[in-house]
Structure 1
């Protein structure tokens, strides 16, 4: 006779809801094994003289639920191997709803030559639909309270969260829900739904969820579906929908007219506005500007979608796959002990990606891969840095200083005797040499110039402020007075910044 395990569901806890087939199987079992005896149906088993053995002791000898479930599965397979008759295993609710031991048995029984039979019982979901009064056809998801992620939440679906065993789990669930839902959102906490005399239903604000003290094995949380903008506005799906509407036939005339080329400067400007917030110590402003930059990504993706090229989901997929592929030390078996190792992995994988596309990295120009559209100082810095990697560089700082001085003299000569074209060229050479100097000093030229710009902005603003205090406009002053105020600003603002 083939070894066999029969799994039966004890239902939601009301003996009147137990199926006849399950009851017959319970009565006929030579030996009944329970995942846990902490269930309302256990009283019926005792009252009818049905003997059983539970695996509750395993919960005490293991530190995680995963270890407990593996241990139960091991024990059941060992029992099946030794028993002359089928092993009957009873679980709360329905065997295929939130029952990890059954999933483990389904995976392992075929490999060990054990036949597995499942007999359904009423799950807690059946009673949730009845007691809470919602129709799952409206959109419904069942989530695990012990492993809840904000990425799984969708406010447009009814959300039932099971396995909320205690106040600690309820607190974790609450904090996760509050990342998406407003604090005062009404949630429903149900205990022992459908069990006569034991059912409790609490309708409370989300922030009070962990103030309840009667959580147990038969507890769940229901978050009703909602179309309220406050919750939806925190989802990527809503952003995607809004951009689609803006670009749609009934959307905004300006947004509909935009192209990749017309939005070119917007993308650059929004990126620089984000950079500006890094020095402000204003997180709200930074979040706003990052949103403006994200909008540019969404608009370009929607323009491509309208033209049948790709969608924002393709953008996300490509990025996710690239991040996983280029971080084998995180998502794979590779090692990276420090940032240098991680960067080396990244660069090697980039080269391999080119080879897979039929591109020989060795045949590419050394300076390829540096975007032409980078700001001039930044591109000069990257070009010089890459050339220096193969030895095309000055050996000492004094050599660089000499080149800067030489370029300065050539510019002065061009100003004296040459045309505007030559002056343009010599000024470019001087700027390029200054970028080289910044590289030797280990100073990012863009950052240095940004600091200089900021300093000029503040000092000029001081001049304007002082003239206004004197009741003057710029057309009522002269360069001498402004120079005096400039020198004053250098002293005053230096003191303020210390």
Structure 2
């Protein structure tokens, strides 16, 4: 039997159920004995061991968590074990590994590090997100946000850089340490006097007009506001057809920016092209035809399907073979079985010379290559 206990954030946080489990006579193992929460176990006067030694023999935190879980499960082969972790059980990766692998498990969740930090910062929104500083991965965080396990300035610096990229250097946040919250700017996150297991960085929602960094959802939201009854008269009047020319012009302006090798212009014109696509998504949503999520899902599905040499079983060793795989999958996707179907699929609105080149290129793949003409 393995009992997993979340000790919370301080010596007072152990629940009655967890206290009874700790006093039940099983082998008590603390992930670490170096935190305020561990003091709560010491106050009970029970014998315990810690796994602090594993930190020094682990290359990274993935290895650490695996070794911690293995040590607990190995001990559980001989006797009942009570495994104690800081904060909530849901915030500890090693605890989750133990729960997945053990056959007989009981859990006492514990007070969450993130919830305690949100309370200290007086942020009470329901739609909150929390993540360990050591478990960031590829996630894109949303606000309100709590980043816990901010136990040294190096980790705080890494988190600061990630968050500044998303929300801007001057964004307001709270540094929570020892249960007390201090308002700071995001660029100050790695400049605090002290860091330990209780350190958490908390950010509240940022009103749209106070943001300096935005994402695609913000773009769609702005366009929806412009299209609202009290929005911009020009934007409200537009249709797919009325802004058709705009897309062509923006595309040419992007091409011109690329040719000029001016990154600032490429950045601006890429944004304008993206905005045109988002505008059509909003128009489609209003008609009930498709949404921005539908558009993104379609293009992502297309990229995965047509790159079957990356995501599937096809092989491609060079640029030409990769393009061949793409074309094969594109035809299958569109249900094209003949060369004429492929040629006839070339858009009729292309400029004459460009359309002739594209038609000739597709026809050449089926043996109609008139190089001497």
The answer for the alignment partner of 1:352 in structure 2 is: 332
More helix as a share of residues: 1
CA contact (8 A) 2:3 2:105 kept: yes
Q: How far off its partner does 1:216 sit?
A: 2.1
SS at the partner of 2:167?
A: coil
CA contact (8 A) 1:240 1:298 kept: yes
Alignment counterpart, residue 10 of structure 1, candidates 2, 7, 12: 7
Q: Map 1:238-249; keep pairs closer than 5 Å.
A: 238-249=218-229
Give the Cα–Cα distance (whole angstroms) in 1 for the partners of residues 313 and 200 of structure 2. 39
The answer for the alignment partner of 2:343 in structure 1 is: 367
Q: TM-score, normalised by structure 2?
A: 0.90
Q: How far off its partner does 1:366 sit?
A: 4.7
Alignment counterpart, residue 166 of structure 2, candidates 180, 188, 194: 180
Task: Flag the structure with larger Rg.
Answer: 1
SS at the partner of 2:111?
A: coil
* Cα pair distance change 1:132/1:365, threshold 3 Å: closer
Tell whether 2:355 aligns with 1:379.
Answer: yes
Give the Cα–Cα distance (whole angstroms) in 2 for the partners of residues 265 and 211 of structure 1. 51
CA contact (8 A) 2:69 2:94 kept: yes
Q: How far off its partner does 1:222 sit?
A: 0.8
SS at the partner of 1:152?
A: coil
Tell whether 2:108 aligns with 1:108.
Answer: no
Q: How far off its partner does 1:205 sit?
A: 1.9
CA contact (8 A) 2:339 2:366 kept: no
- The answer for unaligned runs of 5 or more in structure 2 is none
- The answer for unaligned runs of 5 or more in structure 1 is 194-199, 404-498
Q: TM-score, normalised by structure 1?
A: 0.69
RMSD: 2.5
Q: How far off its partner does 1:303 sit?
A: 1.9
Structure number with higher relative contact order (C-alpha < 8 Å, ≥ 6 residues apart): 2
The answer for the alignment partner of 2:270 in structure 1 is: 290
* Higher mean C-alpha deviation, range 61-70 or range 320-329: 320-329
Alignment counterpart, residue 124 of structure 1, candidates 109, 113, 116: 113
SS at the partner of 1:88?
A: strand
* Cα pair distance change 1:325/1:59, threshold 3 Å: farther
Q: How far off its partner does 1:56 sit?
A: 2.3
Tell whether 2:13 aligns with 1:25.
Answer: no
Q: How far off its partner does 1:38 sit?
A: 2.1
Alignment counterpart, residue 63 of structure 1, candidates 59, 65, 71: 59
How many residue pairs are counted as aligned between the two chains?
A: 373
CA contact (8 A) 1:69 1:100 kept: yes
- Segments of 4+ moved more than 6 angstroms: none
* Cα pair distance change 1:7/1:269, threshold 3 Å: same
Q: How far off its partner does 1:244 sit?
A: 1.5
SS at the partner of 2:56?
A: helix
Give the Cα–Cα distance (whole angstroms) in 1 for the partners of residues 221 and 204 of structure 2. 22
CA contact (8 A) 1:29 1:88 kept: no
Q: How far off its partner does 1:302 sit?
A: 1.9
Q: How far off its partner does 1:126 sit?
A: 4.1
Q: Map 1:97-246; keep pairs closer than 5 Å.
A: 98-109=91-102, 114-137=103-126, 139-148=127-136, 152-154=140-142, 157-193=143-179, 201-231=181-211, 234-246=214-226
